[in-house]
Amino acid sequence: MTGKASDAKTADGDAPVFAYIASLPQPLRSIAERVDALAARTLPGLQRGVKWGMAYYGVDGGWCFSSGGFVGHVKLMFICGTQLTPVPPVTPIGMGKATRGLDLTSVAALDEHQVAAWMQQAATMPFFGGKQRRTARPARGR
């Protein structure tokens, strides 16, 4: 593993995320598996994908948080983290001004109750890739 996210290819769906997680060395794999299982239990309609060499999780077509293996830890990042209560403690470098998260070094370091609460909050404000979510516009009269 390098100090950055993996070279996993961008793909949507469960299978690419499961393959990404399986590629991680222990103990990172166990941490990522626990985060993934918690997301699946917490968020109905969970969507998964691999983006930028990390597992991304979302609902309703928008991404809410990501999980990536780095040397010595799994970084769990909430895209709109500054809007969560309480705000997660880690400000990741190069992930956007609003992103906040956790560096998890073991399964025991994962506070499932708090992380599930953050996942639920994040699901109310999914990020749509910098594009405004399209809504139906009223028809114009001629």
Decide: helix, strand or coil at residue 96.
coil
SS (H, E, C) 120-135: HHHCCCCECCCCCCCC
CA 137 to chain centre: 31
Task: Return the half-sphere exposure (C-beta side, CA atoms, 13 A cut-off) of residue 23.
Answer: 19
Q: Tell me, what's the pLDDT at 139? A: 42
The arrangement of secondary structure in 11-122, i.e. its CATH architecture, is: Alpha-Beta Complex (3.90)
Q: Does the reported pTM lie above 0.75?
A: yes
CB 67 within 8 A of CB 37: no
Q: Tell me, what's the pLDDT at 95? A: 80
Q: Tell me, what's the pLDDT at 44? A: 94
CA-CA distance, 71 to 101, in Å (whole number)?
Answer: 16
Q: Tell me, what's the pLDDT at 131? A: 42
Q: Tell me, what's the pLDDT at 93? A: 85
Q: Tell me, what's the pLDDT at 129? A: 64
> In the chain, where are the structural domains located?
11-122
Q: Strand 11-12 to strand 73-78: parallel, antiparallel, or no bridges (unpaired)?
A: unpaired
All residue ranges of the chain with pLDDT < 70 are: 1-5, 129-142
The neighbouring-strand residues paired with 69 are 74
Name 12's Cβ contacts closer than 8 Å, sequence gap at least 6.
47, 48, 49, 50
Q: Using alpha carbons, select from 45, 96, 87 the residue that is nearest to residue 66.
A: 96
CA-CA distance, 102 to 117, in Å (whole number)?
Answer: 14
Q: Tell me, what's the pLDDT at 3? A: 53
* R_g of the chain, CA atoms, integer Å: 16
Q: Tell me, what's the pLDDT at 9? A: 87
